[in-house]
Amino acid sequence: MSEPARELVIIGVDSAAFAPLLEILEERETIAAGQLRLLEIEDSEVEPQVFGNRNIPVRELEKFAFTPDQVVVVLKSGAAAEAAIGAAEAAGAWVLDAGGNTRGDETVTVVHPLLNSADIATAERRVLALPSAGAAMVAEALAPLAESLQAVEVQLNQPVSALGKAAIDSMAAQTARMFSGQDAEVDPAIGHRLAFNQLSASEALLASGHTMSELALVHDLRRLLGEGVAMDVCINTVSVFHGQLANLRVALNEDADLEKVRALLGNGARLQLAEQPSAEDAVGSDVTLIGRLRQSLLSRHQVNFCAVSDNLRKDLAMNCVQIVHLLLKNH
C-alpha cells in the first residue's frame, strides 16, 4: 500500500509573495492541487485561490491541525505566525519561515537553495529560515568571490513590495491621488509618502543608527557567507513596486583582477552579466543581473558592481519552492 501524498501548507494568502509563490509551484508542478492547504491568520472571509484548475479554499489558521507529513511555509510575521511555527514543529512537520519570525535564533538553519541546501540534513530543528530577499540576492552575487572576500559594503535599494502588501496598496492609492491632483495621505506606519519618493529609512532607527532590517540583512549574509567577512549595509526604499538593486563595494584580500572577477561572476549560478542592468530588466526573471563592474578609485583591492533581481519572484518565491521541493522529496 503506497504512502499518502505529503501536503504543502502555506500561511499568509494576503502576503505580497503569495501570488508568485503559487505561480512557480504550478509552473514547476511541485505539488498537485490536492496536496495544497492554504491558511490565513486573520479571521476574515478570503476567496478560494485557483491552483491547477481547482479552487483551493482558504482556511482559518486557528482551526487547522498540523501533521508530521506536512511542509509548512510561513509568509507572514507576528505573534500568530510564531505560534503556528511552534505548533507545526511540535506536530513533527517541517517548517520554512519566510517571514523573518525566527531571525536571530541560532538554532534555526538559514537555507539558500543554491548555496547551502546540504545543511538541511544536519539541521538542529525541523524549522528552517529563508534569507530575506536582499540577503538572498547579495549572497548569490558574492558567492563566486567567496574565497577572496575580505569586506563588503552593501547599499540596497529596495522596492515598496519589500515592506509588504499593505505598503504596495498604500503607494498605489497615493499615486492615484497625486495623478488626480489631490494630496497623498502619508502612510502612518512608515511616516513618509511612498509614491514618488526615496526613503533613507522606512522604519525606526536603532541606537547605532541602523535599522532592524539592516542588521537582519547583515545577520543573514553572515549565516550564508561566514563570519570572517566584514560588512556594513544600508537599505533605502525607492518608489517602485517590484525589483531590487544593490550597489556592492567589495574588498578582496589581493589586488583586484577585473577580468578574473568578471569571469567568476559570469560563471555564478543564476547570475547573468549585463552592462547597465535596471530593476525593470529583472522583474519577471529568474536570474540576478550583475553589472557596472569597475575598479574602485579608493583601493586596488576593491571592486564595485551592482546586482539586480526580482525580489518577490526570484529571491522569495523561487528560493522557497526549491527548498519545499527538497523537503517533500528527501526529508
pLDDT digits (tens, 9 = 90+) for 122-159: 999 999 999 999 999 999 999 999 999 999 999 999 99
Higher pLDDT residue, 30 or 1? Answer: 30
44 confidence band (pLDDT: 50, 70, 90): low
The yes-or-no verdict on residue 1 having pLDDT over 80 is no
Q: What is the DSSP letter of 27?
A: H
Q: What's the whole-number mean pLDDT along residues 13-36? A: 95
The pLDDT value given to residue 2: 40
Q: What's the whole-number mean pLDDT along residues 250-279? A: 94
pLDDT tens string 153-210: 999 999 999 999 999 999 999 999 999 999 998 888 888 999 999 999 999 999 999 9
Q: Where are the beta strands (DSSP E) in the chain?
A: 7-11, 36-40, 49-51, 54-56, 58-60, 70-74, 94-97, 109-110, 127-129, 149-158, 198-199, 230-238, 244-252, 271-273, 288-295, 302-309
- Residue 98's nearest CA partner among 324, 329, 331 is 324
Q: Is 184 within 8 Å of 174 (Cβ atoms)?
A: yes
43 confidence band (pLDDT: 50, 70, 90): low
User: What CA–CA distance (Å, rounded) separates 167 from 102?
Assistant: 23
Contacts of 315 (CB under 8 A, 6+ apart): 133, 134, 136, 137, 244, 309
- Residue 98's nearest CA partner among 135, 61, 65, 69 is 135
Question: Domains, the chain, ranges and CATH?
Answer: 7-130+316-330 (3.40.50.720), 135-311 (3.30.360.10)
Residue reference for cell 568571490? 145
Global confidence as pTM = 0.94
Backbone angles phi, psi at 144, to 5 degrees: -65, -20
User: What CA–CA distance (Å, rounded) separates 210 from 88?
Assistant: 33
The distance from CA 92 to its chain's CA centroid, rounded to whole angstroms, is 25
Give residue 143's region: left, alpha or beta (phi > 0; psi -120 to 50).
Answer: alpha
Q: What's the whole-number mean pLDDT along residues 43-65? A: 88
